Amino acid sequence: MSAEDAAAAPAMAGDLSGIVGRHLIYAYDNGWKYELYVRNPQTVAFRCLQGPMFGRWSTAQPAKMLQLSGDMYKIAWVEPTGTVTVLIAWLCERRIHTTICYPQWMLDYPESTLGRYEDSLDEITAERDQGPTYPQTLVASTGRITFLETRDADDDTVIDRAPGKLPLDYANRTN
């Protein structure tokens, strides 16, 4: 099977009704905080709320999702920067594990990726294509879900502004 055939082949996603519409904030053990909203079975929105990538966000990131077991889900996406993210979320246990592969150019010049991806796709892809894309840095992190709620699918009000425009204590919400 070619790579194109594999990308086009439907995956056995399982029941995604337990993850679609979920909005979560999670804190990694290193102190970084991110926010994720599962818009629908093919799209997520995210924001970096705290850490070196503060300011990165997307409202329409294509993603692949699988139900691994019960309330455990795997969500994976490739950002326009070339960054590959694979996140596993255990909702009831409120744990996450993420593996991220950063291309070298993005680590060298992260400031060019800070902002909403959809607003600067041409610039981001031009920088990505200049590289270097290799070597890549692989980061594996664990953390806890500190905020979890259910929203309607495709709700444009969940992630609707830049991280710097959020209320001061937004990233520290818990439930």
* Cα distances (Å, whole numbers) of residue 25 to 8, 66, 123, 137: 31, 20, 28, 24
List alpha helices for the chain, DSSP H.
Answer: 3-8, 104-108, 121-130
- For 20-69, the pLDDT digits (tens) are 999 999 999 999 999 999 999 999 999 999 998 899 999 999 999 999 99
Q: Is 34 a catalytic residue?
A: yes
Q: Are strands 115-116 and 56-62 parallel, antiparallel or unpaired?
A: parallel
Question: Domain for residue 4, yes or no?
Answer: no
Q: Which of 34, 37, 102, 117 is catalytic?
A: 34
Residue 144 lies in a domain: yes
Q: Give CA–CA dist 23/35, Å, rounded.
A: 7
* Domain total in the chain: 1
Structural domain contains residue 161: no
pTM: 0.90
Residue range(s) defining the domain that contains residue 90: 11-155
User: Is 89 domain-assigned?
Assistant: yes
CATH number of the domain where residue 94 is located: 2.40.128.20
Q: Which residue has the tokens 């455990």?
A: 72
Per-residue pLDDT of 120-156, as tens digits, reads 888 888 888 888 888 899 999 999 999 999 999 999 9
Return the structure tokens found at 174.
């818990």
Q: Which of 26, 35, 37, 79 is catalytic?
A: 79
79 classed as catalytic: yes
